[in-house]
């Protein structure tokens, strides 16, 4: 019992921040879920819906490397407060446009782009704040808790959002989002004290010099760089998946928005279970091996079952197999980075990581939307109902997206097998300290 109280005391600041930011993330996720359903119902196009995510990620990827340098110079608390406030103003703008009956898709594109721009400074600040508030011995536990909250948000989002949409309207979902922001903002402002970064000579660097130092650090530590590039390749496949996923489930004969909510809930429950495992499992002998093997399991199962499945239960099994090990992968990745990168450099290196690891996401969303609308759906529409492809992937709208998932399964497996042979990634298991640029 004394050990438990000691742990809670040492993690007090992190736990308060984690709980309230997770509550705010639930509100934001519910709004995003409702707006994706709204946009697809308005336009009926996978590419149109995918562009919502493209607009969020594109400025995030382009500006991250510079914004992370600013994040290292600025107060982490002030950066998070300003960024979250701006996001809340964008959400309020959506609510006002809805109430006026004037909301259009292009409004969401613009607001998502502005939100993505602010996330470029908010995300590195939040990552460094976690390091500052968490003793090093608790890094894996903290990462497991963050994965747990993300999973819980995934579970609750479709349930709560669908219930609110069924009994009220999208305005109620957005109002709840604004309430969660208010709670998180007030808690961070009054009850969380984030320690200042230790001073070093890099504080006097210009933004360009800081951005260059983050890239230089990765250039001198190729194991970390190659691991980031591995995740970039996985993100390309995953974002194509994300673009095709709602289009298939909403369009399929046994699908619809309810099916989308059920499968998302299964995804959340699987991630929740994986997060609990990540928080309680002992440190593995090889974190790199865990990362490679968990991604191989994920890539080789879910996409295949989504491609060949014809019912919600089969899609849910795919979701469970695809997501249950992802928190374990994330926790080990997080520990490797936090343990390897000096804390004074983390903002700059994380910003460079964000650009390199996430630049494939907007590309994947564009590619996924295009492939569904212009390649695979027309291809499947031209197939005879008694043909081999129709037998494998079904008929009607959504069959093309199912066919795309089979291609994604093959691409994901080949990516994992290729990077497992990269010797530089395995050097991260070495106890030698990282090189400084």
pLDDT tens-digit series, residues 323-339: 999 989 988 888 888 88
At 398 the pLDDT is 82
User: What's the average model confidence in pLDDT over 37-65?
Assistant: 78
When pLDDT is cut at 50, 70 and 90, the band that residue 71 belongs to is low
When pLDDT is cut at 50, 70 and 90, the band that residue 200 belongs to is low
Give this prediction's pTM: 0.71
User: What's the average model confidence in pLDDT over 30-54?
Assistant: 80
pLDDT digits (tens, 9 = 90+) for 7-16: 778 888 899 9
At 403 the pLDDT is 92
The least confident of 160-169, 224-233, 361-370 is 160-169
When pLDDT is cut at 50, 70 and 90, the band that residue 430 belongs to is low
pLDDT above 90: residue 19 = yes
When pLDDT is cut at 50, 70 and 90, the band that residue 97 belongs to is very high
pLDDT digits (tens, 9 = 90+) for 138-189: 887 887 788 788 878 877 887 788 788 878 888 999 999 999 999 999 999 9
Residue with tokens 């509550």: 23
The least confident of 69-73, 80-84, 215-219, 291-295 is 69-73
When pLDDT is cut at 50, 70 and 90, the band that residue 309 belongs to is confident
At 416 the pLDDT is 92
At 117 the pLDDT is 82
At 151 the pLDDT is 76
The least confident of 86-90, 165-169, 189-193, 253-257 is 253-257
């Amino acid at each position: 019992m004394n050990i438990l109280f000691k742990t809670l005391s040492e993690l007090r600041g992190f736990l308060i921040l984690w709980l309230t930011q997770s509550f705010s993330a639930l509100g934001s996720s519910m709004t995003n879920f409702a707006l994706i359903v709204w946009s697809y119902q308005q336009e009926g196009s996978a590419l149109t819906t995918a562009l919502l995510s493209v607009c969020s990620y594109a400025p995030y990827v382009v500006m991250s490397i510079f914004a992370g340098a600013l994040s290292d110079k600025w107060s982490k608390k002030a950066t998070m407060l300003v960024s979250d406030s701006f996001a809340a103003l964008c959400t309020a703008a959506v609510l006002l446009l809805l109430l006026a009956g004037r909301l259009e898709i292009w409004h969401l594109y613009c607001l998502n782009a502005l939100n993505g721009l602010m996330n470029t400074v908010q995300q590195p600040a939040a990552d460094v704040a976690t390091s500052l508030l968490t003793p090093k011995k608790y890094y894996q536990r903290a990462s497991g808790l963050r994965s747990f909250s993300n999973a819980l948000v995934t579970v609750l989002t479709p349930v709560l959002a669908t219930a609110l949409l069924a009994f009220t309207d999208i305005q109620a979902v957005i109002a709840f989002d604004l309430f969660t922001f208010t709670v998180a903002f007030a808690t961070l402002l009054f009850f969380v004290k984030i320690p200042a970064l230790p001073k070093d000579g890099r504080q006097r660097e210009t933004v360009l010099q800081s951005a260059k130092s983050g890239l230089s650090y990765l250039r001198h530590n190729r194991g970390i760089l190659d691991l980031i590039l591995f995740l970039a390749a996985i993100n390309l496949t995953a974002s194509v998946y994300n673009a095709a996923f709602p289009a298939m489930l909403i369009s399929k004969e046994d699908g619809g928005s309810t099916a989308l909510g059920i499968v998302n809930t299964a995804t959340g429950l699987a991630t929740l279970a994986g997060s609990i495992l990540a928080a309680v499992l002992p440190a593995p002998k090889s974190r790199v091996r865990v990362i490679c093997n968990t991604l191989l399991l994920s890539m080789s199962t879910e996409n295949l079952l989504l491609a060949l499945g014809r019912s919600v239960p089969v899609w849910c099994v795919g979701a469970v197999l695809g997501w249950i090990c992802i928190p374990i992968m994330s926790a080990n990745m997080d520990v490797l980075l936090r343990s390897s990168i000096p804390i004074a450099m983390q903002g700059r290196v994380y910003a460079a990581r964000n650009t390199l690891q996430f630049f494939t996401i907007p590309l994947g969303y564009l590619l996924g939307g295009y492939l569904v609308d212009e390649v695979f759906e027309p291809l499947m529409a031209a197939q005879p109902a008694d043909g081999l492809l129709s037998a494998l992937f079904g008929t009607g709208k959504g069959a093309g997206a199912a066919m795309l998932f089979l291609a994604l399964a093959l691409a994901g497996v080949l990516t994992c097998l290729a990077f497992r042979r990269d010797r530089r990634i395995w050097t991260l298991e070495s106890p030698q300290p990282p090189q400084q640029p």
